[in-house]
Amino acid sequence: MSGSGYERAELVSWLRETDPEMLEQLWHAADETRRSHVGDQVHLRGLIEISNHCVRLCGYCGLRAGNRELGRYRMSEEEILECADKAAQYGYGTVVLQAGEDYGLSRDWIASLVRRIKAETGLAVTLSLGERPEDDLAAWREAGADRYLLRFETSDPALYAVIHPGRGGRPAHPSDRIELLRRLQELGYEAGSGVMVGIPGQTYDILADDIDLFRHLDLDMIGVGPYIAHPATPLGTQGGGANHEDGSGGNGGGRTHDSADGEQVPSDELMVYRVVALTRLVCPEANIPSTTALATINKESGRELGLQRGANIVMPNLTPPEYRMLYEIYPDKACVNETAEMCRGCLNGRIHAIGRSVGEGPGGRRRSGR
Ligand code: SAH
């Protein structure tokens, strides 16, 4: 198993692989590829969830505008800077500013926030603020933002239309995240994307195409985690939604999308590891997080297993606890009752316990031979 190859048919067959010995080989190959291309350091990205306001109606996400039960917040500039200072003190190389798609966060306000964080902490800044107009993205890049995360969620246009409707209105705002990722790359951002594993309507063929698209987009960062049903969303109320490894009670009970031409992918842990490992093999140099969603479905060892099956990044949460509990994209999120200090201590311990070290510096994309 080497970095090249992995044609679509081969990806599908690995996604369907159940033989424990074969899977051990897959984990081993992914871990070796991770070690030889991005090394043993685990880079930490401090996550600050700066607002949970959102204009969109994504079928999977608890922050969707239609969820009227959720108390909404927007952090102040000073609160965000305090979190960024903590990141610098803790030795994290990057802060990630994430939010719902919130136009209350204006272009100029974010630009000046990015300038202050860069000037006062020197940290790398990653933005994850949804599908903003190109002028906003350009202004933030100009202000010094280094990276942008925007998961394309699925490569299948019909499924995408169901789970992630455009904004409508006049003029309508059709949603094309793949096009937006290309614009981000042209603007000079390191671009990150990813998908959820096991979203209702996702077939093995679609998931293999997603992995193939990671390769074609030449992404710098790729995040994949399990889809976790949220009861206040259309997809989450279709029945199913447990993330059991045997598939029982798993997602796929509901069919928002005609997947008669293929079988529903389960949203279980093992499937996420298959996708993490294949992503590493297909994109050997990418920065791949062991995600919070994975840690949520296996609180004991999900993070570690992700790191041992292809991932090299962890995103400790810096959001103040009173806001953290309101940033409920899915229920029962790992670490929701912890403080930034607790996350730091816990993650350092977990990283050392598996024989890895904590990365120093910004930990940007490495490119061999360029
Ligand atoms: N508003 C930003 C940030 C969204 S949260 C954006 O849309 O890009 C970041 C990611 O969380 C999403 O891209 C999605 O892949 C994931 N997510 C949302 N709801 C989820 C759910 N119910 N289960 C698992 N992951 C989810």
What is the rounded average pLDDT of the residues 130-147?
97
What is the rounded average pLDDT of the residues 100-116?
98
- In this prediction the pTM is 0.94
Residue 158 in this model has a pLDDT that exceeds 60: yes
- Which of 22-36, 259-273, 354-368 tops mean pLDDT? 22-36
Residue 261 in this model has a pLDDT that exceeds 70: no
Which SS3 state, helix, strand or coil, does residue 40 take? coil
End-to-end alpha carbon distance in the chain: 24
pLDDT digits (tens, 9 = 90+) for 218-256: 999 999 999 999 999 999 998 655 676 544 434 444 444
Residues in the chain, total: 370
Q: Which of 51, 41, 140 is nearest to 91 (CA)?
A: 41
Residue 247: predicted pLDDT = 43
- DSSP track, 58-127: -TT-TT-TT-TTS---B--HHHHHHHHHHHHHHT-SEEEEEESS-TTS-HHHHHHHHHHHHHHH--EEEE
Which atom, in ligand 1's list, is nearest to the CA of 236? 22
What is the separation of C-alpha 39 from the centre of its chain, rounded to a whole number of angstroms?
21
| Distance from residue 329's CA to the centre of ligand 1 (Å) | 6
Q: How confident is the model at residue 168 (pLDDT cuts 50, 70, 90)?
A: confident
Residue 4: predicted pLDDT = 56
Which atom, in ligand 1's list, is nearest to the CA of 101? 1
Under 8 Å between Cβ of 99 and 53: yes
Q: How many CB atoms lie within 10 A of CB 194?
A: 23
Does the Cβ of 159 fall within 6 Å of ligand 1?
no
pLDDT digits (tens, 9 = 90+) for 284-332: 999 999 999 999 999 999 999 999 999 999 999 999 999 999 999 999 9
Under 8 Å between Cβ of 90 and 48: no
Under 8 Å between Cβ of 259 and 251: no
Does the Cβ of 61 fall within 6 Å of ligand 1?
yes
Does the Cβ of 228 fall within 6 Å of ligand 1?
yes
Q: How confident is the model at residue 175 (pLDDT cuts 50, 70, 90)?
A: confident
- DSSP track, 265-307: PP--HHHHHHHHHHHHHHSTTSB-B--HHHHHH-TTTHHHHHH
